Amino acid sequence: MTIACKHVWEHISEYLDHQLDPLLLREIERHLENCEACSAILDSTRNVLILTADDRTFELPVGYSERLHARLRAIIQGPEPTPTNTKS
């Protein structure tokens, strides 16, 4: 029994997440062995996800952590005493 390319595409995401049931997995793998187009689609999708997860794709602005900590410090250590509010 052979499955159509379109059917394989519908399961690429589950394939990449190792979520296919064994029977369907076997069918898809058999299809991939014989279908250059589908296996290229699978590989390129996987590559896109590797790029997406790469730390360098989404980078932090320079000084982000310092500015964040400065802001948090003001909150965590309580409000700075304001000159206008001398009563306590």
Partner 1 sequence: MPIQSTTPTDEPALIRRILAGETQLFYDLIRPYEKMVYVTIYAMVRNEQEAEDGAQETLVNAFRHLASFRGESKFSTWLVTIAMNEGRRRLRKSKTAAEDPLEDSADDHDGDFTPAFLTDWREIPSEALEKKEIREKLRATVQTLPPIYREVLILRDLEELNQEETAAALGIPVTTVKVRLHRARMMLQKLLVPYLKESRPARKGFFGRMSP
Q: Which residues bind to partner 1, rule: CB under 8 A? A: 9-10, 12-14, 16-17, 19, 36-37, 40-41, 43-45, 47-54, 56-58, 60-61, 64-65, 67-69, 71-72, 75-77
Residue closer to partner 1, measured from CB, 30 or 69: 69
- The set of residues, in sequence order, having a beta carbon less than 8 Å from that of 14 and lying 6+ positions away, is 20
Hey, what are 85's tokens?
Answer: 């509010």
DSSP 71-83: HHHHHHT-PPPPT
Give least dist CB 32 to partner 1, A.
12
